[in-house]
Structure 1
């Protein structure tokens, strides 16, 4: 019976502990996700508050607010998952407590039976007489060992009772902690739901304000399309020039080496450029962001205009809103191949990374010059702040040769 109790004490909790550790790991992951989303919302609120005094409603504000709404909805979903996990923990803890209470009652009863049996036998059974009445020394030794086992069993049973009581107290304390955590999360959820409703009201107000300015929006859209076209043409022209320059350099190198010339429109590359391209490709999905802090408010590709009906816009890169005074930074090592200005897009910097090119636009100032070798995360220039809506937005493009890429698939996913 004693060994059975020991096995129950050691084996039983082990299975529960494994399950408990899995639940704790899952809850920890959800908690980390929630804290990360809370930090992101804090940043969007800061970016929105930077222009709180601005009376003019803008598309940038609408995009940023949309981003905040999506993040808040995601945060509420994460909180709901945390609450579900905590409900599961509470259910498990109650089962554990019930099992410990039942186990404690069994152990107390077994101990009481032991004490009663010992008392009852003591009246008709004297331990000393029991040992001395043995027919041989071997039998006497076995009787002494038996008496010791009885005493050890009672001691062990008392220890098991104390341990069970201690485990029960710990489980009750953990249950109280978990209940308090659930209460805190429920309050957080209600707070976020209230904030979400306020965000949606503000979104509706901005949409209404912008819809009343359809002519102004169309004029603004036309100007932006014109600027984007000029930027696209400039990038394509510079890349063609780079391809031609690289072709001539390769032609000269091959001629000097006595080898056959290579024809084609692809970017000819030196062994160093090939290695750089391979390194750049190997870091797809892991490149740092072109700004230290920020959010993508306009993604790559074709999109429906948020307020103008039957109007679509095309973005050849991504637009990232960042904090005032932020610098654009290189996403990878390379060489500055062009610095140019596009009306409506401000200053632009193009960096070559082997067969890849990255372009950073909407810069107020530029800290590098053509021909500079730059390192990963090196500052390139201060991001321009739009005086109309107070937003600092960097436009970032990534090209492989003369083919546009979706930058979002190349940079680190938040």
Structure 2
């Protein structure tokens, strides 16, 4: 009878398990690489904006804010690159172990095959296959011997194919291992360069912070004054929202100023908007969030608390604001201290695009996702082109970062 090696099914399961892990690791690595490219692009955007702003702005605070953004993104990039390198290290170790296991299996296969060939040769020298069949006691025995000979021949062929397949797999793994080691070295070299850039930016940051420290009280007063102006703008926007709700509800016979009375079509639009939470496009083609939502310490003068009802996004001069979802323009208003604001309604959700120099839409216009609705104003004082983007459900403000893809 043909000897059966029961370790092979176990090896097959082992290789299958490793293959699954490699596939899973590859998926993780692809995701990390995608995020790394995004971070590098973000750093490039920040750097371009910072260089552009340096030529225009006289504000030390603004320069430090820009540097802080770049430092934060660079730190994120270094952290992510380290994750990639660690993942590659694990993959290299996995493949090294797999190569060792395959080599052992290949040696065993070759030994089995050689033993089989020797046995076959001896069998041929002692008696021919025909004599082996003719010496059968009866037809049934002859039939069984014939089947055995067929199985034996097939098994030899299978062993040869298995050796060939394992050899090819071993060569592929060796090639992959070399590639992974090269990728890891490249990541390490890139991290070294990124760290050098980070240290350079930190030195610049420290120099600017030393200047701020000498006049911290003065800067704190400026920030508080600016926050008062922002609060006034936010109150104006909230009044605009209440008036819009009241105006819409008046048309439908309701007196509510807090929530929209929705038609079936408006309910469907709101549901569609809600289903896209976390997947909405950015309200600018290219930009960097310079101030997040909510109460927070000022990024430079840490002793001062500031508040933001939305997010502030710096973009290129001449940058356009874009609708993040299908909707209807419900208001276009000039806001004191913030140029113009466009309010787009998506059922009972509202998106507001504030600080527009030029507006391309009017009240009642239907807009579609990523449609340009206006050009963002550039500050003469700071040289920055900043969109203030807000998101509400009825009159309840919400964090745009929860809704916009990777904000």
TM-score by length of 2: 0.84
Which of 218, 224, 230 is 1:228 aligned to?
A: 230
Q: Which residues of 2 match residues 299-318 of structure 1 at below 5 A?
A: 299-308=292-301, 310-318=303-311
Matched, 1:96 2:89: no
Runs of 5+ unmatched residues, structure 2: none
CA distance in 1, matches of 2:228, 2:180: 58
Counterpart for residue 207 of structure 1: 209
Q: Aligned residues, how many?
A: 403
Counterpart for residue 360 of structure 1: 353
Matched, 1:340 2:334: yes
CA distance in 1, matches of 2:248, 2:17: 65
CA drift at 1:24? 2.3
Q: After superposition, what is the alpha-carbon deviation per residue over 1:292-334, rounded to whole angstroms, capped at 9, x for unaligned?
A: 2212111122222344463222223221111221111233412
Report the more deviating stretch, 226-235 or 242-251.
242-251
Q: After superposition, what is the alpha-carbon deviation per residue over 1:35-72, rounded to whole angstroms, capped at 9, x for unaligned?
A: 22222222222222323545735433333332222222
Shift in alpha-carbon separation, 1:61–1:110, aligned structure 2, 3 A: same
Instruction: Determine helix, strand or coil for the equivalent of 2:386.
Output: strand
Instruction: Determine helix, strand or coil for the equivalent of 1:393.
Output: strand
Runs of 5+ unmatched residues, structure 1: 252-261
CA distance in 2, matches of 1:271, 1:156: 70
Which of 108, 111, 120 is 1:109 aligned to?
A: 111
* 8 Å CA contact 1:336, 1:374 repeated in 2: no
* 8 Å CA contact 2:57, 2:381 repeated in 1: no
Which of 350, 362, 384 is 1:391 aligned to?
A: 384
CA distance in 2, matches of 1:116, 1:198: 71
Q: Which residues of 2 match residues 228-377 of structure 1 at below 5 A?
A: 228-246=230-248, 248-251=250-253, 265-267=257-259, 269=261, 271=263, 275=267, 277=270, 279-308=272-301, 310-332=303-325, 333-343=327-337, 345-353=338-346, 355-377=348-370
Q: After superposition, what is the alpha-carbon deviation per residue over 1:115-166, rounded to whole angstroms, capped at 9, x for unaligned?
A: 3334445554444444444444554454444444444444433333333222
Counterpart for residue 63 of structure 1: 65
CA drift at 1:248? 4.5
Matched, 1:33 2:59: no
CA drift at 1:403? 4.2
Q: Report which of the two structures shows the higher radius of gyration computed on alpha carbons.
A: 1
Instruction: Determine helix, strand or coil for the equivalent of 1:165.
Output: helix
Report the more deviating stretch, 373-382 or 75-84.
373-382
* 8 Å CA contact 2:65, 2:300 repeated in 1: no
TM-score by length of 1: 0.83
CA drift at 1:402? 4.3
CA distance in 1, matches of 2:242, 2:255: 15
What's the RMSD between the two structures over aligned residues? 3.2
Instruction: Determine helix, strand or coil for the equivalent of 2:233.
Output: helix
Instruction: Determine helix, strand or coil for the equivalent of 1:319.
Output: strand
Matched, 1:4 2:18: no
Shift in alpha-carbon separation, 1:403–1:273, aligned structure 2, 3 A: farther
CA drift at 1:282? 4.9
Report the more deviating stretch, 177-186 or 153-162.
153-162
